[in-house]
């Protein structure tokens, strides 16, 4: 595991100044030796008489050492060699002094003192040690070669005292430096631990999304990236079946498979929930799709968990830096939209964030903002689509459907904006507004025709999750005087499936008050039968997907017949939606299907239009509708 965050070092400004300063000193000594060596050599050449045989190697040594230290200081990663070269430099200094200065011995001590101070300032144990050794070596050489020079200004006992004092200072210096380094180590250890907690997934031991974002932003400066987001489908049900520990084990296996199959240039991280994130650099554009497909194929092979085989499904959304953005934020957003699209397409799908997707993303952002700024009373209104009882041909109720006319963008379909309103939370105030408005208008209509009309209202799962959802509905009904048993709440399978037990309890609470519950678009979600086991409902609505051409399509016939007889078994009302043709309607007459709804009978219309229809015989409504066929919605 490598954390991107850990690559950032925590060296403070003073610390990096110190390092710079130390290497500048090395450079200065190098240059000093080089220039000194050249000057010294020239001097010797010009005045050969004063030169003895012993002196010749000195200028060469200086030049060589100078070059060596300058070369070393230019090398990257030469941290281990550099101190040794500096040591040679230090040692050479006292030797050179011997040839130039009379009182070399005194100067050696002054130099040692200077080195000692520098070593302490730079907190360098090596420098401390080396400067001391070099002084000792210089003194020893002096002692052997020119004992007289040693005692020009200082007596031998002065040297001994200095040696003792400097040794004590050196040892104290070393102890201080060791304790500083020790504390530093401890500090780094804690920083590292804190970093791990903040930037690492505790169980999978791979970076989390915070580290991933830092990595992506850093990497984007130098290379193009493919950012992909992989999601394990139906994680909640996997979790429900396997429990916490086994789900963790399973995620670990997924991680191992990902690591085994992805290219070496991919940075893998754990996203929120059951998602993994990958950032791939150095790729061939035309191989991207096949590479991801290969990973996916490997991931969907069965997982052996405690002796059982588990088959998992995934989806991948991918975005490319450049066309899809130049920051982790933008890329993540596009990868998420691509992933959403992949999920809509089915299971084990890979979707790349294309331009089309991008423009729809832009659109989504626009719509999301427009929703927040919308004026409910002036931009929104409710239309009603009659629901007809097949046996009597009577309009027994209406379904409320929301309409939005934006001042600039014009009519926006609920099929588009409801999902966005669910994402940005606007569905909560909007849903309340719809319920209140619809109850009010239908109550007025019922009063005016003198017959209680049923009202069906679509409710989003986001609304159910709100605290006080049940109380709010009951309050609205009470305020308007709308009888609870005339209200039907339409929920989609998805909303029922994704809800927690406490939310399903709210549905029970509504039923206890007499409010009816219908499952909208039955059979199009994840687990139609599963829902019936989870919660008690009153009605199922067969969607247009199955009704379309039901008179001629045998598969649709089988599906619709099965759903209708199942509804009968469960003693639920069955309503067929989206009937557009007489033939479709005729087929339904043969089944146990109590209610129908569709353009063939009546399109969604404003409440005044519904009132007119209510006073007409059904045949008249149908002929009215057919004559207005060009207009998709009667409003
Ligand atoms: P839904 O609840 O299944 O509503 C039925 C949709 O089918 C409506 O589309 C309706 O106009 C349309 N429809 C009815 N009969 C026919 C037909 O014969 N042929 C065809 N092709 N279509 C027919 P609409 O009004 O565009 O609503 C689409 C979806 O948006 C609704 O599906 C519902 O899921 C959602 N929605 C609409 N209004 C609301 C609302 O007030 N609250 C919430 N949460 N969702 C709503
Ligand atoms: Mg509906
Ligand atoms: Mg429906």
Domain positions in the chain: 3-197, 209-353
Query: Which-ligand-closest: CA of 463?
Result: 1
Instruction: Return d(Cα 576, Cα 259) in angstroms, integer.
Output: 49
pLDDT at 633: 36
Non-local (6+) Cβ contacts of 297 within 8 A are: none
Non-local (6+) Cβ contacts of 518 within 8 A are: 456, 488, 489, 490, 491, 537, 538, 539, 540, 541, 573, 575
Question: Measured in angstroms, how far is the CA atom of residue 475 from the centroid of ligand 1?
Answer: 26
Ligand 1, closest atom to CA 579?
18
Highest-pLDDT range among 120-124, 131-135, 392-396: 392-396
Question: Measured in angstroms, how far is the CA atom of residue 521 from the centroid of ligand 1?
Answer: 10
Ligand 1, closest atom to CA 580?
18
CA terminus-to-terminus distance, the chain: 62
pLDDT in tens, 478-519: 999 999 999 999 998 777 766 678 888 999 999 999 999 999
**Strands 454-458 and 394-406: what pairing?**
parallel
**Strands 275-280 and 266-270: what pairing?**
antiparallel
Per-residue tokens: 311: 């088959």
Ligand 1, closest atom to CA 460?
44
Non-local (6+) Cβ contacts of 635 within 8 A are: 383, 403, 604, 605, 606, 609
pLDDT at 13: 66
In a mutational test of the pocket of ligand 1, which residue from 401, 456, 473 has the highest number of ligand atoms less than 8 Å from its CB? 401
Question: Measured in angstroms, how far is the CA atom of residue 325 from the centroid of ligand 3?
Answer: 37
Query: Which-ligand-closest: CA of 385?
Result: 1
Ligand 1, closest atom to CA 427?
44
Q: Are 600 and 581 in contact (CB under 8 A)?
A: yes
Question: Measured in angstroms, how far is the CA atom of residue 604 from the centroid of ligand 1?
Answer: 9
Q: In this model, does residue 89 exceed pLDDT 80?
A: no
Domain 209-353 of CATH type 3.30.70.270: yes
Q: In this model, does residue 22 exceed pLDDT 90?
A: no
pTM (2 decimals)? 0.53
φ/ψ region of 460 (left if φ > 0, alpha if ψ in -120 to 50, else beta) reads: beta
Band (634; pLDDT cuts 50, 70, 90)? very low
Ligand 1, closest atom to CA 492?
34
Instruction: Return d(Cα 592, Cα 598) in angstroms, integer.
Output: 18
User: Is residue 502 classed exposed, middle or buried when 0-12, 13-18 and 19+ CB atoms within 10 A define those classes?
Assistant: exposed
* Residue bearing the bigger pLDDT, 360 or 414: 414
pLDDT at 108: 77
φ/ψ region of 119 (left if φ > 0, alpha if ψ in -120 to 50, else beta) reads: alpha
Q: For residues 24-32, give the mean pLDDT.
A: 79
**Strands 410-412 and 394-406: what pairing?**
antiparallel
For tokens 């989504």, the residue is: 364
pLDDT in tens, 230-253: 999 877 777 777 788 888 888 999
Q: For residues 156-170, give the mean pLDDT.
A: 87
Give nearest CA residue, ligand 1 atom 13. 578
Question: Measured in angstroms, how far is the CA atom of residue 335 from the centroid of ligand 3?
Answer: 30
Question: Measured in angstroms, how far is the CA atom of residue 408 from the centroid of ligand 2?
Answer: 27
Q: Which residues pair with 394 in a beta bridge?
A: 389
Contact residues of ligand 1, CB 6 A cut-off: 385, 400-402, 413-415, 418, 431, 434, 458-460, 490, 520-521, 544, 578-580, 598-599, 604
Q: Are 302 and 311 in contact (CB under 8 A)?
A: yes
Band (81; pLDDT cuts 50, 70, 90)? low
Give nearest CA residue, ligand 1 atom 43. 458
In a mutational test of the pocket of ligand 1, which residue from 458, 521, 575, 595 has the highest number of ligand atoms less than 8 Å from its CB? 458
As a 3-state breakdown, the chain gives helix, strand, coil percent values, each rounded to 5, of: 60, 15, 25
Instruction: Return d(Cα 164, Cα 157) in angstroms, integer.
Output: 11
| Helix/strand/coil for 628 | coil
pLDDT at 629: 43
Instruction: Return d(Cα 555, Cα 565) in angstroms, integer.
Output: 16
Non-local (6+) Cβ contacts of 224 within 8 A are: 281, 320, 321, 322
Residue 221: φ, ψ to 5°:
-65, -30
Band (619; pLDDT cuts 50, 70, 90)? low
DSSP 8-state symbol, 200: B
Q: Are 134 and 108 in contact (CB under 8 A)?
A: no
| Helix/strand/coil for 553 | coil
Give nearest CA residue, ligand 1 atom 21. 578
The secondary element (H helix, E strand) that includes residue 407 is: none
Per-residue tokens: 196: 């791990």
Segment among 141-150, 160-169, 191-200, 346-355 with least mean pLDDT: 141-150
Instruction: Write down how long the chain is.
Output: 635
Query: Which-ligand-closest: CA of 495?
Result: 1
Give nearest CA residue, ligand 1 atom 33. 458
Strands (E), 446-514: 454-458, 487-492
Q: In this model, does residue 520 exceed pLDDT 80?
A: yes
Helix axis angle for 209-220 and 156-199, nearest 10°, is 110
Buried b (16+ CB within 10 A) or exposed e, 534-556: ebebbbbbbbbebbeebbeeeeb
Ligand 1, closest atom to CA 418?
45
Q: Are 91 and 137 in contact (CB under 8 A)?
A: yes
pLDDT at 632: 38
Band (436; pLDDT cuts 50, 70, 90)? very high
Instruction: Return d(Cα 316, Cα 232) in angstroms, integer.
Output: 9
For tokens 């569709």, the residue is: 598
Query: Which-ligand-closest: CA of 422?
Result: 1
Closest to 225 (Cα-Cα) out of 364, 337, 334? 334
User: Is residue 501 classed exposed, middle or buried when 0-12, 13-18 and 19+ CB atoms within 10 A define those classes?
Assistant: exposed
CB atoms within 10 A of CB 451: 12
Instruction: Return d(Cα 495, Cα 463) in angstroms, integer.
Output: 10
Band (97; pLDDT cuts 50, 70, 90)? low
| Helix/strand/coil for 81 | coil
Ligand 1, closest atom to CA 604?
11
Question: Measured in angstroms, how far is the CA atom of residue 283 from the centroid of ligand 1?
Answer: 44
Ligand 1, closest atom to CA 597?
15
* Residue bearing the bigger pLDDT, 345 or 416: 416
Closest to 614 (Cα-Cα) out of 447, 464, 469, 471? 447
Query: Which-ligand-closest: CA of 402?
Result: 1
Average pLDDT over all residues of the chain: 84
Question: Measured in angstroms, how far is the CA atom of residue 384 from the centroid of ligand 3?
Answer: 13
Q: In this model, does residue 196 exceed pLDDT 80?
A: no
Non-local (6+) Cβ contacts of 266 within 8 A are: 278, 279, 280, 281
pLDDT at 72: 75
Q: Are 595 and 587 in contact (CB under 8 A)?
A: no
Question: Measured in angstroms, how far is the CA atom of residue 383 from the centroid of ligand 2?
Answer: 12
pLDDT in tens, 341-394: 888 777 899 998 865 555 565 577 788 889 988 999 999 999 999 999 988 888
């Amino acid at each position: 595991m490598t954390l991107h965050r850990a690559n950032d070092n925590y060296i403070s400004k003073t610390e990096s100044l110190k390092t710079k300063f130390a290497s500048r000193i090395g450079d200065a000594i190098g240059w000093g030796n080089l220039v000194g060596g050249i000057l010294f050599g020239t001097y010797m050449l010009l005045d050969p008489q004063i030169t003895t045989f012993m002196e010749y190697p000195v200028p060469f040594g200086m030049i060589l050492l100078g070059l060596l230290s300058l070369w070393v200081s230019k090398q990257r990663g030469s941290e281990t060699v550099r101190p040794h070269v500096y040591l040679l430099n230090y040692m050479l200094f006292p030797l050179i002094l011997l040839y130039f200065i009379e009182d070399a011995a005194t100067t050696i001590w002054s130099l040692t003192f200077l080195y000692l101070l520098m070593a302490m300032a730079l907190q360098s144990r090596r420098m401390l040690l080396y400067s001391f050794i070099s002084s000792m070596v210089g003194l020893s050489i002096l002692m052997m070669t020119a004992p007289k020079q040693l005692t020009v200004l200082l007596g031998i006992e002065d040297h001994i005292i200095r040696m003792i004092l400097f040794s004590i200072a050196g040892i104290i210096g070393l102890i201080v430096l060791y304790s500083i380094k020790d504390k530093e180590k401890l500090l780094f250890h804690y920083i590292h631990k804190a970093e791990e907690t903040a930037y690492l997934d505790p169980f999978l031991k791979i970076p989390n999304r915070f580290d991933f974002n830092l990595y992506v932003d850093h990497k984007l400066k130098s290379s193009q990236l493919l950012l992909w987001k992989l999601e394990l489908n139906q994680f909640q049900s996997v979790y429900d079946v396997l429990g916490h520990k086994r789900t963790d084990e399973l995620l670990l296996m997924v991680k191992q498979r990902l690591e085994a199959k992805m290219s070496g240039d991919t940075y893998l991280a754990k996203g929120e929930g059951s998602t993994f994130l990958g950032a791939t650099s150095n790729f061939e554009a035309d191989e991207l799709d096949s590479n991801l497909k290969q990973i996916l194929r490997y991931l969907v092979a069965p997982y052996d968990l405690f002796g059982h085989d588990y088959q998992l499904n995934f989806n991948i959304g991918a975005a490319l830096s450049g066309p899809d953005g130049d920051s982790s934020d933008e890329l993540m957003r596009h990868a998420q939209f691509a992933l959403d699209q992949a999920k809509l397409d089915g299971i084990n799908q890979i979707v790349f964030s294309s331009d089309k997707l991008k423009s729809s993303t832009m659109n989504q952002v626009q719509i999301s903002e427009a929703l927040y700024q919308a004026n409910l009373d002036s931009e929104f209104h409710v239309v009603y689509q009659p629901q007809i009882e097949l046996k009597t041909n009577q309009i027994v109720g209406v379904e409320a459907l929301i309409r939005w006319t934006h001042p600039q963008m014009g009519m926006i379909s609920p099929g588009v904006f409801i999902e966005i309103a669910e994402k940005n939370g606007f569905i909560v105030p909007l849903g309340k507004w719809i319920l209140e408005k619809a109850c009010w208008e239908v109550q007025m209509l019922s009063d005016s025709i003198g017959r209680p009309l049923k009202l069906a209202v679509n409710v989003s799962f986001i609304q159910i999750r709100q605290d006080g959802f049940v109380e709010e509905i009951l309050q609205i009904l009470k305020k308007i005087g709308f009888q609870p048993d005339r209200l039907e709440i339409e929920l989609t399978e998805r909303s029922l499936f994704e809800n927690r037990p406490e939310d399903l309890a709210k549905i029970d609470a509504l039923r206890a008050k007499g409010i009816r519950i219908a499952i909208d678009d039955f059979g199009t979600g994840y687990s139609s039968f599963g829902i019936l086991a989870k919660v008690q409902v009153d009605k199922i609505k067969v969607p247009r997907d199955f009704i379309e051409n039901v008179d001629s399509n045998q598969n649709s016939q089988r599906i619709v017949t099965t759903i209708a007889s199942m509804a009968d078994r469960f003693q639920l009302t069955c309503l067929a939606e989206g009937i557009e043709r007489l033939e479709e309607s005729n087929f339904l007459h043969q089944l146990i299907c109590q209610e129908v709804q569709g353009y063939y009978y009546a399109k969604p219309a404003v409440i005044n239009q519904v009132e007119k229809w209510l006073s007409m015989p059904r045949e008249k409504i149908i002929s009215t509708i057919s004559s207005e066929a060009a207009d998709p919605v009667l409003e």
